């Protein structure tokens, strides 16, 4: 019995260090699930990612991050399975031509590493909050039935002591499937007007679509800012 318990503890400690990175099959436009045989495993320390991406299951986190990584990799035929575990993405910022003699972006970072944590891992999100500087929270605006659950998870993030100084980006995703009123209803259900007067964190709200590329430039700018 003690041997079984010891092996279980060692296995969970191993999972805490493992980041499973999905591989996209671009020809089929399918993102293989992390439980599939087609994946890679990176053993890295969780604290190496100062930016994390959270959100309920099927909120559109994977599509959004893949679109930020390679805008041409996502279109209306793309399909992905819910992330099981975690995924890590290296986002390279678009190179902008400097205007005049001075380039205001020359001292800004050229890329950022983002850790995506699956919605099914919500009970374990707190294990990844150490040394986080920026947090992306994705909400599916085309699924108003999910907003209440998304709000509960979001409130738990806002009250986390280790995240009181973190900059937060609230992404209203899948805007290509929703309409303006659904966006307003989502913000109303999340009580954002009231929350922004009470919380300590700086929350930026962006409407985005991985398919139409709406909002990607705003996300790049937010990620690049110190």
pLDDT in tens, 36-68: 323 333 334 444 569 999 999 989 999 999 999
Q: Are 169 and 222 in contact (CB under 8 A)?
A: yes
Q: Which residue numbers in the chain have pLDDT < 50?
A: 1-47, 100-101
Locate 11 and state its tokens. 């296995």
pLDDT of residue 83: 85
Distance CA 220, CA 92 (A): 9
Number of neighbouring beta carbons within 10 Å of residue 213: 15
pLDDT of residue 191: 86
Structural domain boundaries in the chain: 47-96+106-224
**Looking at domain 47-96+106-224, what is its CATH homologous superfamily?**
P-loop containing nucleotide triphosphate hydrolases (3.40.50.300)
Instruction: Name the pairing type of β-strands 167-173 and 134-140.
Output: parallel
Q: Who's near 88: CB < 8 A, 6+ residues apart?
A: 19, 21, 42, 44, 49, 113, 114, 115, 116
Which stretches within the chain are classed as H helix?
2-17, 61-69, 147-158, 180-190, 192-198, 216-224
CA 166, distance to chain mean position in Å, is: 14
pLDDT of residue 103: 57
Q: In what order do the strands lie in the sheet with 111-117?
A: 86-92, 111-117, 51-54, 134-140, 167-173, 202-207
pTM (global) more than 0.95 = no
How many residues belong to the chain? 226
């Amino acid at each position: 019995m003690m041997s079984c318990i010891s092996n279980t503890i060692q296995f969970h400690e191993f999972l805490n260090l493992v980041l499973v990175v999905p591989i996209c099959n671009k020809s089929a436009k399918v993102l293989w699930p992390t439980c599939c045989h087609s994946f890679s495993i990176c053993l890295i320390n969780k604290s190496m990612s100062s930016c994390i991406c959270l959100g309920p299951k099927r909120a559109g986190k994977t599509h959004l991050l893949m679109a930020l990584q390679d805008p041409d990799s996502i279109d209306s035929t793309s399909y992905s399975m819910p992330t099981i575990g975690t995924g890590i993405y290296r986002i390279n910022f678009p190179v902008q031509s400097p205007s005049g003699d001075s380039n205001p972006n020359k001292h800004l970072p050229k890329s950022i590493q983002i850790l995506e944590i699956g919605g099914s891992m919500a009970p374990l999100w707190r294990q990844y909050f150490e040394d986080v500087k920026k947090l992306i929270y994705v909400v599916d605006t085309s699924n108003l039935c999910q907003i209440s659950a998304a709000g509960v998870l979001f409130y738990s993030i806002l009250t986390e002591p280790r995240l009181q100084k973190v900059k937060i980006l609230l992404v209203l995703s899948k805007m290509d499937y929703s309409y303006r009123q659904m966006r307003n209803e989502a913000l109303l259900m999340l009580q954002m007007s009231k929350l922004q007067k009470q919380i300590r964190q700086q929350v930026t709200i962006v409407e985005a679509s991985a398919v139409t590329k709406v909002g990607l430039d705003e996300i790049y700018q937010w990620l690049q800012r110190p």
